[in-house]
């Protein structure tokens, strides 16, 4: 039972345009959401997070939107750069600081120069 789903295994975007990565979850108890970025042969690195009390969090080129009623979150990257090419995982936990994360299956983003 996949509680966190990323339905797009891959996405290609032109450099300079907006990249939108989507994530859906089924467990309404999830309260805190994170995005991780992963390059080949490296561990995932934390990108941005959002608490369920917010509907938007922004950090530079990265913005995460949360729609609790739809159990949906999205990561916007604008403008997209070649270095953004990586696999992106969304993850959820029951509260901030909880040690147990549930990950989605990942979306491979390719930025086309």
- Encoded tokens for 84: 């953004």
Looking at 32-112, which runs of residues are DSSP E strands? 32-38, 45-51, 56-59, 62-67, 72-77, 86-93, 102-103, 107-112
Shortest gap between Cβ of 87 and other proteins (angstroms)? Answer: 10
21 binds other proteins (CB under 8 A): no
41 touches other proteins (CB under 8 A):
yes
What does the alpha-carbon distance between residue 76 and residue 24 come to, in Å, rounded to a whole number?
15
Least Cβ distance, residue 73 to other proteins (angstroms): 15
Judged by the rule CB under 8 A, the positions of this chain that interact with other proteins are: 4, 6, 34, 36, 41-46, 49, 89, 91, 97, 99-106
């Amino acid at each position: 039972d996949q509680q966190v789903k990323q339905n797009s295994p891959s996405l290609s975007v032109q450099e300079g345009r907006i990249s939108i990565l989507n994530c859906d979850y089924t467990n309404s108890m999830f309260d805190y959401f994170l995005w991780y970025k992963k390059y080949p042969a490296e561990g995932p690195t934390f990108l941005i997070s959002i608490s369920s009390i917010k509907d938007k969090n922004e950090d530079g080129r990265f913005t995460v939107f949360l729609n609790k009623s739809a159990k949906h979150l999205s990561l916007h990257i604008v403008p997209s750069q070649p270095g953004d090419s990586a696999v992106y995982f969304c993850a959820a936990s029951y509260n901030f600081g909880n040690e147990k994360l549930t990950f989605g299956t990942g979306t491979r983003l390719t930025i086309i120069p």
